[in-house]
Structure 1
Amino acid sequence: MYNYPLNFVFKIATISNDFSATDASGNILFYVREKMFKFRDHVKVYTNSNKNQLLYDIESNKIIDFQQTFTITNHQKQVVGKVRKKTFSSFIKATYQLQDAQGNHIYTIKERSAMVRFIDSIFGEIPIIGMLSGYVFNPKYVVTDLKGVELVEMVKKPSFWGRKFEVQKLSNTFFNDEQVVLSLMLMVIQQRDRG
């Protein structure tokens, strides 16, 4: 469905958490914006930065960040799928379960290395030097199916502001690109400040 690799590049000059998603040819696929000052996490996905055509809504079922489930709906208000953050697993490695519209677990997103997470958290606390952690410790996340086949990998690219991510397809196995990419876009907003 998509021309990989995909690139997620965050805007720097805004107070909101928003980024553009482009394909390998540089075509804009989505413009993603986290709604600010909301009690529940809410992400909107548009066709471009003009925000004149809404494609998807991704909204949390809870106010607090504990075992949240996000529902992804398209512009016709149909449920595309769900993303469940595994809070306890995420203390060690960021972990999300991707579910179909009925709530059946179909894919998993997991951080590759707990060590990178641990070292980054220590390095980031060092005054002045910690600001450079975005160039040194860059986490990777992998999407697998229920058989453990690796489908897609997302890598945080070295940058001062932590603003660039690349999504690479790893397998020719059929998978639901739409749900996987939308789930990665949600996850990248939540995990951006790491690494």
Structure 2
Amino acid sequence: MVLKNLNYPLDFKFKISTLSSDFNITDRNGNYVAYVRQKMFKLKEDVIVFNDESKSKELFRIRANQWIDFNASYSLNDLTDNKNYGRLARKGMRSLWKSSYDILDSNDQTKFTVTEDNAWTKFFDGMVSEIPLIGMFTGYFLNPAYTVKGMDGKEYFKLKKMPSFFGRRFQLDRVIDIDDEDESLVILSLLMMVLLERARG
């Protein structure tokens, strides 16, 4: 299946009542788009995307392709149509300073890149978060943003961390229209990226 006719912006909101990294994706009207659950205690990341919080229907599954995640990539699979969309690949050394990812299609061709807009935000967030008391509030004023570009150089999506306690909310906006299948590929990649970036701090 493809994710289509979505009303942007989309909100990614993490639940703080569970040990696992669960989050809801809702549209601008508050309607469910998906419910994302990362399986705990796995040597390799394993993420299931459900239709909603009832978890009555599995839509997609994302799995890491290797144990060591320094240069890991994550396969994006449609469970409804038994189809592979492609994969999200982290750019190793560059990610130490400024987060950068490639989004590849099912033919392993790079279709989009995701780049953190300002590397200093993560740098200062890491420093300030170590300061007692003050570090608790970094989620309100140090919030990274990311841009998704196509191979044509155009900007297609903007993802930003929203001010919130515990850094629990992200917002995704579409800049220009995109093919439904490519849109699904990007959204699946970004929800995996959000889990990875949030884990890094």
- What TM bracket, shorter-length normalisation? over 0.9
DSSP-derived class of the 2:184 partner? helix
Q: Percent identity?
A: 37
Which residue matches 2:129?
124
Which of the residues 35, 42, 55 maps onto 1:31?
A: 35
Which residue matches 1:191?
197
Q: What letter matches 1:183 in structure 2?
A: S
Q: What letter matches 2:114 in structure 1?
A: I
Aligned: 1:59 with 2:63: yes
Which of the residues 121, 124, 133 maps onto 2:138?
A: 133
Contact persistence 1:117–1:194 (CA under 8 A):
no
Output the TM-score relative to the length of structure 2: 0.93
Structure 1 runs of 4+ with >3 Å offset? 172-175
Distance 1:50 1:109 in 2: 31
Deviations 1:87-139 (A, max 9, x none): 21111111110000111100011110011111111111112211111011000
Q: CA deviation at 1:78?
A: 1.3
Q: What are the equivalent positions in structure 2 for 1:1-195 lying under 5 Å apart?
A: 1=4, 2-75=6-79, 76-172=81-177, 174=179, 176-193=182-199
Contact persistence 1:42–1:57 (CA under 8 A):
yes
Deviations 1:36-88 (A, max 9, x none): 00010111000011112100000001111121111111113310111101121
Distance 1:164 1:23 in 2: 13
Q: CA deviation at 1:147?
A: 2.2
Q: 5+ unaligned residues in a row in structure 1: which ranges?
A: none
Q: 5+ unaligned residues in a row in structure 2: which ranges?
A: none
RMSD between aligned alpha carbons?
A: 1.4
